[in-house]
Chain A
């Protein structure tokens, strides 16, 4: 298999983006990155800049204000990269469906920038850290 994809699977660096979330999923993501769940054994590391990232953890339904910024962050992430839509809102607008401030779920916004984006969905409100780990591992092994 391609060495680039193999090394991406073994060392995914994540960057967390909040595209208009209620913060519940954000708290669960921060819980995930604490020593208790030890995601460093998978090579997962939290980085502070999208330019260092391989995986974007996007929470929240995409609001008008956040959609522009989300597209910009996606463009600044060097390819190849994976987008994880965390939470029911990011997967498909959740309870905010048809709201006045909703542009669309995260995959609709990302596909406007890059129709071939790799997007993985981790539903839940909020998803437990164990569910997120399972989702990340399944997504990486399917690459």
Chain B
């Protein structure tokens, strides 16, 4: 598919998105709410057949954002799904691991570091924080200081 056909394909799922931003020929952002991210991810992976790359977690001041990056290798276009998680107290989102096993570890890492709960994740265990790290301290959240864990350990 070339760029035009790709754009047409992506507009099929327009009703689940907040908007589509096309920053350039090769860079497309699909913005959506957290509830719809599962369906959009499934569409991109199974119907458009884009290649999953990685997930990025961002702590914006009023919400959490999860960016799912896909690469459409036939045109070299990078498509990113931007899912907004509005609930800061108990952030949760549907895990995409059931149909995309490659996402298992990155979701574990985001859970460790930002504290986002992934529902239906088959194997939610600690990944990169040390074994004796206190529970409930998520280091890369903006309201957590770097020394908070050290204070809690003492």
Question: Could you tell me which A residues sit within 8 Å of B by CB distance?
Answer: 63-65, 98-101
Contacting pair A63 B146 (CB below 8 A): no
Is B15 an interface position by the 8 A CB rule? no
For the complex, is B139 an interface residue (Cβ under 8 Å from A)? yes
Q: Is residue B132 contacting chain A, with contact meaning CB distance below 8 A?
A: yes
User: Which residue of chain B has the shortest Cβ distance to A20 in the bound complex?
Assistant: B130
Cross-chain contact B139 with A63 (CB below 8 angstroms): no
In the assembled complex, which residues on chain A have CB atoms less than 8 Å from the CB atom of B146?
98-100
- Closest residue to A103 on the B side, CB-wise? B150
User: For the complex, is B38 an interface residue (Cβ under 8 Å from A)?
Assistant: no
How far is it, in angstroms, between the C-alpha of A64 and the C-alpha of B147 when the chains are bound? Answer: 13
Chain B interface residues (CB < 8 Å from chain A): 129-133, 139-140, 146-149
User: When the two chains form their complex, are residues A100 and B132 in contact, meaning their CB atoms are under 8 A apart?
Assistant: no
A65 near B131 with CB under 8 A, answer yes
- Of A98, A99, A101, which one neighbours B130 at CB under 8 angstroms? A101
Q: What are 14 sample pairs from A and B whose C-beta atoms fall under 8 A apart?
A: A63-B130, A64-B129, A64-B130, A65-B130, A65-B131, A98-B146, A98-B147, A99-B146, A100-B139, A100-B146, A100-B147, A100-B148, A100-B149, A101-B130
Q: Within the complex, what minimum Cβ distance (angstroms) separates A28 from chain B?
A: 24
The interface residues of chain A lying within 8 Å CB-to-CB of B132 are 64
Interchain residue pairs A-B with the least CB separation, the first 7: A64-B130, A65-B130, A100-B139, A100-B146, A98-B146, A100-B149, A99-B146
Q: Which of chain B's residues has its CB closest to A65's CB? A: B130
B53 to chain A, nearest CB (A): 21
Please name all residues of chain B whose beta carbon is closer than 8 Å to the beta carbon of A100 when the two chains form the complex.
Answer: 139-140, 146-149
A65 to B139, CA, bound (A): 15
Which residue, of B132, B146, B149, has the highest number of chain A Cβ atoms within 10 A? Answer: B146
Query: Given the complex, which residues of B lie within 8 Å of A101, measured CB to CB?
Result: 129-130, 139
Other A-B contacts than A64-B133, A65-B131, 17 sampled, CB-CB below 8 A, are A63-B130, A64-B129, A64-B130, A64-B132, A65-B130, A98-B146, A98-B147, A99-B146, A100-B139, A100-B140, A100-B146, A100-B147, A100-B148, A100-B149, A101-B129, A101-B130, A101-B139
Q: A63–B146 Cα gap in the complex (Å)?
A: 13
Residues on A with C-beta less than 8 A from B129 are: 64, 101
A68 to chain B, nearest CB (A): 8
Nearest to B133 among chain A residues (CB) is A64
Q: How far is the CA of A117 from the CA of B63 in the complex (A)?
A: 49
- Specify the chain B residue showing the minimal Cβ separation from A66: B130
Q: Could you tell me the distance between the alpha carbons of A100 and B145 in the complex, rounded to whole angstroms?
A: 8
The residue in A64, A100, A101 that gathers the most chain B C-beta atoms within 10 A of its C-beta is A100
Instruction: Determine the distance from Cα of A74 to Cα of B152 in the docked complex, in whole angstroms.
Output: 27
Bound-state Cα–Cα, A65 to B129, Å: 8
**Residues in A whose Cβ lies below 8 Å from that of B148:** 100
Chain B residues, CB < 8 A from A98: 146-147
